[in-house]
Each structure stands twice: as structure tokens, then as C-alpha cells.
Amino acid sequence: MMYLFAILAGVMVVLSMVMNSQLARGVGIFQGVFINFAAGLLTALAVYFLCDYFALEALGDNSFSAPWYAFLGAFFAIAIVAACNVVIPKIPVVYSAVLIFLGQIVTGLILDALVAGHFDTNKAVGALLITAGLLLNARIDAEMDREDGEEGVNGEAVAKPETVGIGVD
């Protein structure tokens, strides 16, 4: 069941990135971030008050017992949404998703090595294989664009609108 939840979370992350980039396209990058987090705050407050109304425990006694640095995650979330708002309209969504995934894998490998003192060579090889696959796919896409006569300045391939992120008209 947890694997299903993980897959659904991945789907929601990609959909969220695309929707946020569409919002940012209409109102601006940081205005989109602000609206995103304002809506998130309103949603969190609504859930809190619903839990309170139905006598469900929304915040436990240990809700604020985490180390101080654990609360810095919100700052990372703001940077993530802003970065996705910039990147998603410029490159295909599948590349964005895979690159973000690779960033997560590499960060996980580094944290495991630093915090747990364990480096998983198999996971590192897996990350390299994913990177190789992404680079191969990008090269094939560029060659296909060149064959279609889609060349820009200096003979570089130019992505066609249907291959660029969702934000292109």
C-alpha cells in the first residue's frame, strides 16, 4: 500500500509543478510562489479547524519538539516552487521530473554517507544509469529536431513547442 501512496505522491508532485508553473506564467514567478503558499496556508488552517471541530488531534503535544533546523523545510519548499516555475516552461516536463528525481537520489546518497556513514554503490550506479538514459534521450531528441529542420543559431537544435514544457502556447 505504501508503494501506491509513493506513486500517487509522485504524480501529485509533477501535477503540482505543472500547475504552479502555469500560475507563475500568468502572474509572475514569485507572485505564483506567494499564491501557492497562501493557498497552502488556507488549506492547512481549514484542515486544522475541521480536525478541531470533529475533536480529532490536529497538533499533538510534541508538534513543536523537532530540532529548530527541521522547520527550515518551508524555505526549501519556496525555493523548489520558484525553481520549478522557472524550469518547467523551458524544458519538457519529463526531463524536469527526471532531473529533480536525480537531484533527490544524489542528495539521498550524500546524506546517507554523511549521516548514516553508509554509501550504497548500487544506488549510485542506478543514478548513473538514469543519468545516461536521460542524456541519451536528450541526444536522440536533438537529432530528431535537426532532422526535422528545426535548427536555430549556430546550428543548435530548437525544441518544437510540443516538446517543450506545458507552458508553451
Please provide the DSSP assignment of 77-99 as one string: HHHHHHHHHHHTTTS-HHHHHHH
DSSP tag of 125: H
For position 169, what pLDDT does the model report?
A: 39
* Nearest alpha carbon to residue 96 among 29, 6, 10, 30: 10
Average model confidence (pLDDT) for the chain?
87
For position 156, what pLDDT does the model report?
A: 54
For 50, phi then psi, to 5°, come to -65, -45
Handedness of CA 86, 92, 94, 99 (dihedral sign): negative
Query: Cα 96 to the chain's mean position, in Å?
Result: 7
What digits encode the pLDDT tens for the residues 40-85?
A: 999 999 998 998 888 887 777 777 788 888 889 999 999 999 999 9
Residue 157 banded pLDDT, cuts 50, 70, 90: low
- Could you tell me the three cell numbers for 35? 499564491
For 5, the enclosing helix (H) or strand (E) is helix 2-27
Instruction: Enumerate the domain spans of the chain.
Output: 1-89, 92-169
Q: Taking the model in full, what pTM does it have?
A: 0.76
Residue 164 banded pLDDT, cuts 50, 70, 90: very low
